Structure 1
Amino acid sequence: MSTFTGKILVTGASGQLGALVIAALLNEVPPAQLIATARNPAKLTDLAARGVDVRQADYTKPASLDAAFQGADRLLLVSSSEVGQRLPQHRNVIEAAQRAGVKLLAYTSILRADSTPLLLGQEHRQTEALLRDSGIPFVFLRNGWYSENYTAALVGVIEHGAVLGSAGEGRLSTAGRADYADAAAVVLASSEDPAGRIYELAGDESFTLAEYAAEVARQAHKPVAYQDLPEADYKAALLQLGLPAPLAGILAQSDAAAAQGGLFDDGRQLSQLIGRATTPIKQSIAETLARLA
């Protein structure tokens, strides 16, 4: 258990990452030290039953943030899922944290936000700049790609026998979402002051999409191959699958940027931070297949 005794607030606590951060923090500090916020706090009744302080907070409504952030010493801003709307939403959070006197704000950014070729990096860079200018002590948790970005599509991949993408031979240093959540919990519950640190977080191992397809085929006992497409063709394929045009464009561009090394990192800062190896893609595939069985 951590010796930190202040209040730790996690935004987006009903989301996939935020829920895992709260779960990890419950292993580090008593529930009474935790504040969990969500747009719909009814989704957090299980946490309330465990003694976590559950509050309503909406990134688009500053008044809700002012009420939610009262008494928080350290705050995790889980980046908004609304690409294109992130900057004004994040600004609302940062300004509310200023008004509440938050002593440390940790932000889930993107791997090498200052130089990434991914267009997704723009809003993260802008948010980091807002935080630097805010005067609030900060930590940047620059998260790489989640393995779940790929394993979530396993049903379709196995059904069609193909992994589609535009990443070429680019290597992907992914880790499980829980690995990144554990890293956030370590920082938030640290007995030391982590202010000013910038963590480039990614998996210990890397793989190409061709290697990923081969591993899926091996574990599923079915033929699966990687089909590398030009960025425009990959976007068209995603549109055919029913993705909204803006999201399809972002995913296709991200894949093309991976071909330029945008999602590769061998610094191992994530495993160093959490004190264990990151979850290998083989394990993520196996766990997903087990759930689907």
Structure 2
Amino acid sequence: MSIVVTGATGELGRLVVDRLLTTVPAGEIAAVVRNEEKAAPLAALGVGIRVADYDRPETLKDAFRAGDRVLLISGSEVGRRVPQHTAVIGAAKAAGVAQLAYTGILGGPDADFELAAEHKVTERLILDSGLPYTFLRNGWYTENYTAHLGPVLEHGAVVANAGDGRVASAARADYAAAAAAVLTGEGHIGAAYELSGDVAWSFAEYAEQVAKATGKEIVYRHVPAATHQEILVGAGVPEPFAAILVDVDAAIGRGLLAGAGGDLARLIGRPTTPLAETIAAAVAGTDSTAVAAAVAGPGA
């Protein structure tokens, strides 16, 4: 039996593996990856590597073993997730895994925005499979926003069509810690956790925190959905994905990502990472070249 993390070289997957390594021997952890070379640092730590691809179901037959505890990290390609997840669920069932934990979306079946659709179908597929499951309904990562600070600082504005809506986000590492807790603990089979940050913030408050961390004047500009769509497409975001982002903002405006029920803090045994801390880390990050240039201002 192993603890198996799919998508283990991705941003969330690697954090989950790192967290597991603090309490679980490396030899009891398996990383399912598409690119074995990219997984070399994990192999060097003693983590088992299983090469498989969500898009190639035949490669998944050796990804899992009877009794494994598996974390299915949702695919990143919107519109392709259902067939990808179907393949993983089928392989997990055929192998006889002891647990399939799935990273879905906050609200589960009650989430009515487009980005939630594939997650809701996946949860139903898992239930229908009869597999022992745990649903990790992840809210927003604060890094969804801090990863794009460059344009915010360049233009001095946070732009959204979310009105006064609030977001109970948490750091990606918080969600990784919750996944590790569920994979190593007991009593989680059949549970559905609504995971979110302890404090819900508005975009005006987010702008204030960015301004405080950078010393630049930053404002929040609420714009109509159609205008936001035009801005995103003009910035190079593909039109279909821009529409999804605009739809998410509308959901935020309806309060669908503001829930702060405390499941995440309870699973990780501590408060979730404050918004200001993640913003400060992004501003100070050594890989944030665009952020640094924008903070310095023109001519830097």
Query: Structure 1 length as normaliser, TM-score?
Result: 0.96
Residues 259-287 of structure 1: CA distance to partner in whole angstroms, max 9, x if unpaired? 00011112111001100110111001100
Residues 126-169 of structure 1: CA distance to partner in whole angstroms, max 9, x if unpaired? 00000000010000000000000110111111111010101110
Structure 2 portions without partners, runs of 5+: 293-300
**Distance between the aligned counterparts of 1:268 and 1:196, measured in 2?**
18
Contact 2:139–2:168 (8 Å) recurs in 1: yes
What are the within-5 Å matches in structure 2 for residues 1-293 of structure 1?
6-71=1-66, 73-190=68-185, 192-291=186-285, 292=288, 293=292
Contact 2:66–2:98 (8 Å) recurs in 1: no
1:3 corresponding residue in structure 2: none
Residues 84-103 of structure 1: CA distance to partner in whole angstroms, max 9, x if unpaired? 11001000000000111111
Which sits farther off after the overlay, 162-171 or 64-73?
64-73
Runs of 4+ in structure 1 deviating by more than 4 angstroms, as ranges, are none
Structure 1 portions without partners, runs of 5+: 1-5
- 3-state SS of 1:120 partner: helix
**Distance between the aligned counterparts of 2:157 and 2:140, measured in 1?**
20
2:296 corresponding residue in structure 1: none
**Distance between the aligned counterparts of 1:150 and 1:220, measured in 2?**
15
Amino acid at match of 1:214: E
Deviation at 1:119, TM superposition (A): 1.2
Aligned residues: 287
Amino acid at match of 1:211: E
**Distance between the aligned counterparts of 1:105 and 1:175, measured in 2?**
23
Query: Structure 2 length as normaliser, TM-score?
Result: 0.94
Identity across the alignment (%): 50
Distance 1:49 1:71, change over 3 A: farther
**Distance between the aligned counterparts of 1:70 and 1:37, measured in 2?**
12
Amino acid at match of 1:199: Y
Deviation at 1:117, TM superposition (A): 2.8
Amino acid at match of 1:234: H
Contact 1:118–1:262 (8 Å) recurs in 2: no
Amino acid at match of 2:250: A
Deviation at 1:39, TM superposition (A): 1.0
CA RMSD in angstroms comes to: 1.0
